[in-house]
Structure 1
Amino acid sequence: MKKLVFLLSTVTVLLSSCNTETVELAGAGATFPVPYYNVAFEAYKAETGNIVSYGGIGSGGGIRSITEGIVDFAGTDAFLNDERMAEIDEVIHIPTCMGAVVLSYNLEGVSKLNLTGEIIANIYLGKITNWNDSLIQAINPDVTLPTKKITPVFRSDGSGTTAIFANYLSKVSPTWKDTLGEGTALNFTVGVGGKGNPGVAGTVAVTDGAIGYIGSEYAFSLGLSIASIQNSKGEFIQPNTASISAAAQGDIPADTRVMITNSEATGSYPISGFTWIVVYKEQAYANRSIEKAEATVELLHFLLSEKAQSLTETVHYAPLSEAVIALTKANIKKMTYQGNPIE
């Protein structure tokens, strides 16, 4: 009898394994985290067999895609504000890692450069137009700056990278706040535009005298120079895992919707930010199956795992703190399918 039970159990397991099908998930949005998502989604596939495709079309495009029911999740570096949240079915923000928006520049012979928020704002407002401007030279006394026109490069598409950049500048420059202000798409009047982080990075790489704001991995991959930015403590800081993590010190709200730019923490890189995956709380929409809903939850938990978080540093991002992971896991538990908890 025991042998029969064992054999029946074995057959059941084998049949269950045979019936397991690969689930394919689709996401779209921010280009900022693409290098991390490339390695994280590949690791998820290796562990589960499920396939995740992700299109880096910009944060704005990602939000449009999920509200139109085209994708299973959206990627964004700019959280949805209360007004936007009220316009759509309830969504949950899932932070996946932290990263830095860096100021990369193309200036022959200049390997080190300090910049302040006020100087960056004035460059993008067209008030500082030459690299040997006295304000830039004053904070770079040991650098010979050339008489060369500055070409600011900005995002031409709706961008969470722009949102982080603009949020920082609005905190440190009253003039910026009163003119261009904040948002994912700004009305730049000087410089040239590039689509996505790759577009801005590529333009900086081939334009003598250019400066552009991009995700750090894009700068590292092209070997671009990166400026040290003055933080709220007066320190000129390079972006790295430690300085990005330092920016997230302090209270984080339960829904994790917060900007961490211009942190007051010592050693913090001032243009740091979370990047989020946005999902609907109720997963039964647009004829989605329970299998897709379960795979989505599984993917989110994987991204919070030690394995996935350890991958962040390999591509120049920073892992989430234990406190943020705990908040996020609590939010994932709120996800439902036809009103029933998924996990």
Structure 2
Amino acid sequence: MFMKSIIGAAVLAAGISVASAADISGAGATFPYPIYAKWADMYKKETGLGLNYQSIGSGGGIKQIKNKTVTFGASDMPLEPKDLTASGLVQFPTVIGGDVPVVNLDGIGPGDLVLDGPTLADIFLGKITKWDDAAIKKLNPNAKLPSSAIVVVHRSDGSGTTFIFTDYLSKVSPDWKSNVGASTAVEWPVGIGAKGNEGVSNNVTQTKGAIGYVEFAYALETKMSTINMINRDGKAVVPSAAAFQAAAANADWEKSDNYFVILTDEPGAESWPIAGATFILMYKQPQDVANSAAALKFFDWAYSNGSKAAEDLHYVPLPAVVIAQIEKTWATQIKGPDGKPIFAK
């Protein structure tokens, strides 16, 4: 049932989970899965070439590309430049999106509650355990908050969505930073673990009093109750593509080292505080040149033809100047045994 209208057709038409010999293979982040599935469907219809993408979480994607079992890995956590160098990898962003807190409370719809960063952190730290806690009531004086227990739901797998979420909490809560930290997988103080954005969505949907975090497209498709957030500028913001774009407005991709850009807690009155880009990982000297060239051709096609599909799913397409920079990265860093670029426009 999950995301049937967006993903179901793509799975069947594009071979997103059933590979053929000619399919491009990739694995990793669940955060961009809705748009990768849509792009795969469109690309299959236009070229006949499928995409076998395993939505297994960023941790799994990093592991699989390092084990050389896929042509590309996908992660919402950008790798440090030193890690890329050590592994012989290159990374580049594809789209920008956002994590959103979601709840299951009777009488509470999308946007009916607002939280700030410290309060959200205290909930996930287990310091705030009831929905009618004074800290939540202070932020929501007109809401009818039950006295029921808060049930925290978090990712159980290695996840870039978790990295974005915990990176934000680390920036707004000293307790979170010192006791939990930011990573694709952390030691959660409290809560129920679930696999993938799908698992968190399902658990929150089925559990009264639950709170979790998912990528925005999942929340919209399943009609979950999202929470508005008070951002760095002290403004209450509704999650939206425009708010994600506002968060990315100050990103300096050109001067970043290997596109190492994190978009959480960005300044700006309209900025969504839990935004992030998602990234592709490939080898600089791939073993299978033909498949790697096919993957780059797919992403080049997506940059040129997939912006509307991305916007329809509430992702933010990359600016043209960033795409041009990425194409230069491909030409200068991803090469065959002869030292020549494996893909050129």
The TM-score with structure 1 as length reference comes to 0.89
Q: Tell me the SS of whatever aligns to 2:184.
A: coil
In the TM superposition, 1:1-343 aligns within 5 A as 23-89=22-88, 91-111=89-109, 112-250=112-250, 251-252=252-253, 253=256, 255-283=258-286, 285=287, 288=288, 290-305=289-304, 307-334=305-332, 335-338=334-337, 339-342=339-342, 343=344
CA positional deviation for 1:281: 1.5
Matched position secondary structure for 1:299: helix
Please list the CA deviations of residues 23-72 of structure 1 after superposition, one character each: whole Å capped at 9, or x if unmatched: 32110000111111110111122222211110101101011111111101
Across the aligned residues of Structure 1 and Structure 2, the Cα RMSD in angstroms comes to 1.5
Q: Which amino acid aligns with 1:120?
A: L
Q: Which amino acid aligns with 1:194?
A: A
Displacement of 1:22 after TM fit? 8.1
Q: Distance in 2 between matches of 1:336 and 1:204?
A: 45
SS in 2 for 1:100: strand
Whether contact under 8 Å (1:59, 1:76) holds in the other structure is yes
The amino acid that maps onto 1:264 is P
SS of residue paired to 2:239: coil
Matched-pair identity in %: 39
Aligned residues: 317
Q: Do the aligned residues in 1 keep the contact of 2:234 with 2:269 (CA within 8 Å)?
A: no
* Alpha-carbon contact 1:118-1:173 (below 8 Å) kept: yes
Question: Over alpha carbons, which structure has the higher Rg?
Answer: 1
Which position in structure 1 is the counterpart of 2:11? none
SS at match of 1:337: coil
Segments ≥4 residues shifted beyond 6 Å: none
Q: Distance in 1 between matches of 2:311 and 2:85?
A: 36
2:84, 2:90 within 8 Å by CA — same for their partners in 1?
A: no
CA shift, 1:84, in A, is: 2.6
CA deviations on 1:193-251 (whole Å, 9 max, x unpaired) are 00011001100000000000111111112111000011111111111111011111122
**Residues 23 and 291 in structure 1, CA contact (< 8 A), matched pair in contact too:** no
1:304 CA drift (Å) = 1.5
Is the Cα contact below 8 Å between 1:76 and 1:160 reproduced in 2?
Answer: yes
- Equivalent residue of 2:317, what SS? coil
Instruction: Write the deviation string for residues 143-195 of structure 1: whole angstroms up to 9, x where unpaired.
Output: 11111100111110100000000111111111111110111100012110000
Query: How many angstroms apart in 2 are the aligned matches of 1:41 and 1:232?
Result: 36
Question: Could you tell me the TM-score, scaled by structure 2's length?
Answer: 0.89
Pairwise CA distance, 1:311: 0.9
Contact 1:247 1:260 in 2 (8 A): yes
Q: Distance in 2 between matches of 1:319 and 1:225?
A: 25
Partner SS, residue 306 of structure 2: helix
Aligned to 2:9: none
**Are the aligned partners of 1:164 and 1:273 in contact in 2 as well (CA < 8 Å)?**
yes
Distance 2:26 2:240 in 1: 27
